Amino acid sequence: MPDTIQLLPDSIANQIAAGEVIQRPASAVKELLENAVDAGATEIKLYITDAGKSLLQVIDNGKGMSETDARMCFERHATSKIKKIDDLFSIRTMGFRGEALASIAAVAQVELRTRRAEDELGTCIDIENSVVLKQEPCATPVGTNLCMKNLFFSVPARRNFLKSNASETKHIVEEFIRVAMAFPHIMFSLTSNGQEVFHLESGNLKQRVVQVLGNQFMAKLVNVKEETDYMNIYGFVGKPDTARKTRGEQYFFVNNRYIKSAYLNHAVMSAFDELIPKDSFPLYALYIDLDPTQVDINVHPTKQEIKFEDEKIIYAFVQAAVKHALAQFSVAPSLDFTLNAEIQQLDAVSKPFTTEQQQDTSGSKLFKTFSQKNQAHFIEPSGNSNKSELKHWKEFFTPPAAEGYDLLNSETVGKGGMPAFPSTESGYSLTDSISQPASGHLYEQPPAANQVLPNAVLLQLHNTYVIAPTHSGFILVHQQLAHERILYERYSQAAHGRSMAIQKLLFPVTVELAPGDALLLNELLPDLYAIGYQVELFGKDSFIIQGTPADITQGNEKHAIELLIEQFKHFSSDIKFSKREKLVRCMARQQAIKAGQQLTQKEMLQLTEELFTCNTPNVTPTGSPTYLEFKEDYLDRMFGR
């Protein structure tokens, strides 16, 4: 029998290796940007066409390569970073395995132009399917220009698994941001299909973080900085009011390498305990510097998952550093008089505050108004002519009752005299939503057992559940999930042909977004219009909101759009949905009334009625039950009857 085991040809072996290293265009972006950083570049430019599928080009002004190095860099496991086994455990560079360029050359058409400062001419190499087609001297600037065309042209099956251009561009932007945030002293730019998306000038860390996340975070970042003999941690966390309902901008870097760590994320979350709601996620960009021997970065092909020698110490340091930073933010600001020597010469600072002066001050009426309770209205006016202005001060706080209307006895008043049903944070009113008839309902009536009894009195439990009697028992409705189902079917109808009515804004609202979010919103504009949002491009990263769905209360349009983008970015599902379907689901989830919101009898009745006119009233789009049914015979059995 002939032998059956044989060595794979290099071309096939390289393509197999490429499957681990280069999974999509964003993988190549990460490897090429990191190589440019290792080359000592101060300017790195990234150009992509068709989300990197047709063209992906990285140009840097680094030290470049010699003719021999330019040829060797495409060989598997060829690297300048490791010479002995001990070097593997003291890595300080970004790339070190020598697999990236070999993998790229195995699945794409590659053109390399590179030159060192001491060389008069550079080197030009063309490679296709791991085969060198051309190598010759050429005139080129100092640095490296690597152009990758037609990714996966030699592996059509792999190319078919790539997602839409919008999705692949999103992944490229994420990898670009991760590298750019790790090296603020380097200028980065990203150009997609001829349009510059990012232009990040070199600067300090805070400038880079604000460049990436958006100028709106300039005054909302808390500085984190702790130094020890074991490790240093620095960076920024967002103030509690920047927390979002989705896992948004959260970045961890270890020795300038972006990592994913649920363990360290938990450390940050625990530091924010009781400062933000349980279902919110804080913003942070934290950088950890420690001895490379204390961390193993060679545990995953993408090098985004690493292993610490002592995770518990790192966890404790991260948690303590963030807590300390937040504690400093929480205290009242104090003046540092050492900053200006002239302040020290003022009488108020240089002269002592005598006992006699203390007694005179504490005995004054002005002092009493600030130090004793219920004294504020005794502040004396500066002149007699002003006494009449304070005479009827109590009347200012008593609103005149409308004729024929008893404010306190109205059913729209909740606890503390406040309206029982305020608008949600997204500006959505349940009354508005339910009172809008869902035109064209063709659904069959639900079973009689599920119908709420006419003229029934409904009960709200914990401001979250609605108890409604039926012909055969009662149902327990979850108000938020039920409303989500109602809105989903309404928006779904609008998204598939029955356009929603748009309410024009009297004063259009301008929204400025981070470049990555602006790129995403621009892709979503047609789908947003189908569900009632009229949004137009208004500059490079700015948009203007001209109209909103007619059943949404006006006044919070900017927040609604920002939250919608955030939910869309972090939409998680095992099923592949279309872009419009994801948008409809995000919209329904955002606009639904929230648990804990008080409802009137009228609103509870309308909620249940609208729910049972839905095509699928019993579950939300994600499969959660909207209500539970308790039948009379089941209740009897519970009591042994």
In the chain, where are the structural domains located?
A: 10-200, 205-330, 430-631
When pLDDT is averaged across residues 517-526 and rounded to a whole number, the result is 85
Per-residue pLDDT at 368 = 59
**CATH class in words for 10-200:** alpha beta
**CATH code for residues 205-330:** 3.30.230.10
SS3 641: coil
Q: Which one is predicted more confidently, 533 or 365?
A: 533
Q: Please give the model's pTM, rounded to 2 decimal places.
A: 0.66
Integer Cα distance of 426 and 556 in angstroms: 6
- Whole-number average pLDDT of the chain: 77
Count Cβ atoms below 10 Å from residue 230 Cβ, excluding itself. Answer: 12
Residue 122 has pLDDT above 80, yes or no: yes
The end-to-end CA distance of the chain, in Å, is 80
Integer Cα distance of 20 and 2 in angstroms: 32
The token pair at 8 is 């794979």
Per-residue pLDDT at 420 = 36
- Reported as type and span, the H/E element at residue 224 is strand 221-227
Residue 68 has pLDDT above 80, yes or no: yes
Q: What is the pLDDT of residues 272-304, one digit of tens each?
A: 888 888 778 888 999 998 888 777 665 555 556
At 529, the amino acid letter reads Y
Per-residue pLDDT at 70 = 87
Per-residue pLDDT at 506 = 84
Per-residue pLDDT at 163 = 82
Beta partners for residue 102, in sequence order: none
Topology of 430-631 in CATH? Answer: Ribosomal Protein S8; Chain: A, domain 1 (3.30.1370)
Q: Do domains 10-200 and 430-631 have the same CATH topology?
A: no
When pLDDT is averaged across residues 169-182 and rounded to a whole number, the result is 92
Percent of the chain at pLDDT above 90?
Answer: 23
Integer Cα distance of 382 and 393 in angstroms: 17
Of the listed ranges 29-43, 127-141, 374-388, the one predicted with least confidence? 374-388
Q: What is the pLDDT of residues 569-590, one digit of tens each?
A: 777 666 677 778 888 888 888 8
Per-residue pLDDT at 124 = 95
Per-residue pLDDT at 540 = 77
Task: Output the CA–CA distances (angstroms, integers) from residue 15 to 154, 160, 331, 469, in the order listed.
Answer: 9, 16, 57, 65
Per-residue pLDDT at 71 = 87
Q: Which one is predicted more confidently, 301 or 361?
A: 361
Residue 495 has pLDDT above 50, yes or no: yes
Per-residue pLDDT at 263 = 87
- Reported as type and span, the H/E element at residue 254 is strand 250-254
Per-residue pLDDT at 247 = 73
Q: What is the pLDDT of residues 368-414, one digit of tens each?
A: 555 555 554 455 554 454 444 455 555 545 554 444 334 333 333 33
Per-residue pLDDT at 532 = 83
Residue 419 pLDDT level (bands cut at 50, 70, 90): very low
